[in-house]
């Protein structure tokens, strides 16, 4: 899902390199801090590899930034109102996992972040649950999705929503045979 506003592997690599340099880290230091190989970090920065979401989480944690930083943009002054056109949303597509995130807010710098995510059939991040600051709400607009928060399992059908403390480990699993689509909001933006 490239296109305008998209985060292709080349753009993702440039963003990672910029964040790494801003943090004052070498490629090998970032790799060690993130628990990934130096070759993988180098490959991503060169635009030759599209990492898994778990790898992005590890690198973001090592850099001390939210994963949403890989969306890039938003370095300018905040406007009192901003429209994000559907065809110009910033997108992040995560490797062969088939995850696609679209940023619905203009940046991740405000007090609220919103995104749309498409979760392919069979996807599960149970092996590497999310855990970050803030509160989240998700509205499932399509498909079926299992959401586990702090060991409690919830099954959502299209039209259902869930709100939870994002500092509690949580993970998603699409057990259906078609993509699950969610619209989520988080405060603060800590995706």
Whether residues 67 and 108 fall in one domain: no
Confidence class for position 6, pLDDT limits 50, 70, 90: very low
Whether residues 181 and 110 fall in one domain: yes
Of 27-31, 79-83, 117-121, 173-177, where does mean pLDDT reach its minimum?
Answer: 79-83
Q: For residue 15, what are the domain limits?
A: 6-71
Taking the whole predicted model, whether its pTM rises above 0.85 is answered as: no
Tell me the DSSP string of 55-82: HHHHHHHHHTS-GGGGG----SPPPSS-
Residues in the chain: 191
Whether 174 has a pLDDT exceeding 50, the answer reads yes
Reference 152, options 133, 139, 165, 138; nearest CA is: 165
Is 1 among the domain residues? no
Q: How far apart are CA 33 and CA 25, in angstroms?
A: 10
Q: What is the pLDDT of residues 153-167, one digit of tens each?
A: 999 999 999 999 999
Q: How far apart are CA 135 and CA 171, in angstroms?
A: 14
- Domain count of the chain? 2
Which CATH number fits the domain that encloses residue 57? 1.10.260.40
Confidence class for position 77, pLDDT limits 50, 70, 90: low
* Mean pLDDT on 7-26: 82
SS3 31: helix
Confidence class for position 130, pLDDT limits 50, 70, 90: confident
Q: Locate 67 and state its tokens.
A: 């994963």
Name the more confident of 123 and 5.
123
Which CATH number fits the domain that encloses residue 176? 2.60.120.10
Q: How far apart are CA 55 and CA 187, in angstroms?
A: 23
In the sheet that holds 90-94, the strands lie side by side as: 6-7, 90-94, 99-103, 113-119, 180-187, 135-142, 161-165
| Number of neighbours of residue 115 by Cβ within 10 angstroms | 24
């Amino acid at each position: 899902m490239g296109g305008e506003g998209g985060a292709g592997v080349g753009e993702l690599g440039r963003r990672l390199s910029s964040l790494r340099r801003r943090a004052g880290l070498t490629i090998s230091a970032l790799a060690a801090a993130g628990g990934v190989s130096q070759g993988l970090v180098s490959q991503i920065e060169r635009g030759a590899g599209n990492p898994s979401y778990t790898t992005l989480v590890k690198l973001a944690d090592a850099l001390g930034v939210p994963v949403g930083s890989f969306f890039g943009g938003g370095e300018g002054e905040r406007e009192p109102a901003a429209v994000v056109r559907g065809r110009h949303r910033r997108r992040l597509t995560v490797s062969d996992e088939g995850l696609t995130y679209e940023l619905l807010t203009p940046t991740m710098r405000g007090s609220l972040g919103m995104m749309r995510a498409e979760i392919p059939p069979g996807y599960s991040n149970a092996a590497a649950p999310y855990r970050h600051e803030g509160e989240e709400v998700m509205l499932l607009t399509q498909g079926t999705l299992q959401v586990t928060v702090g060991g409690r399992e919830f099954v959502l059908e299209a039209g259902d929503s869930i709100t939870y403390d994002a500092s509690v480990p949580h993970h998603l699993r699409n057990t259906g045979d078609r993509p699950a689509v969610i619209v989520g909001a988080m405060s603060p933006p800590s995706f």
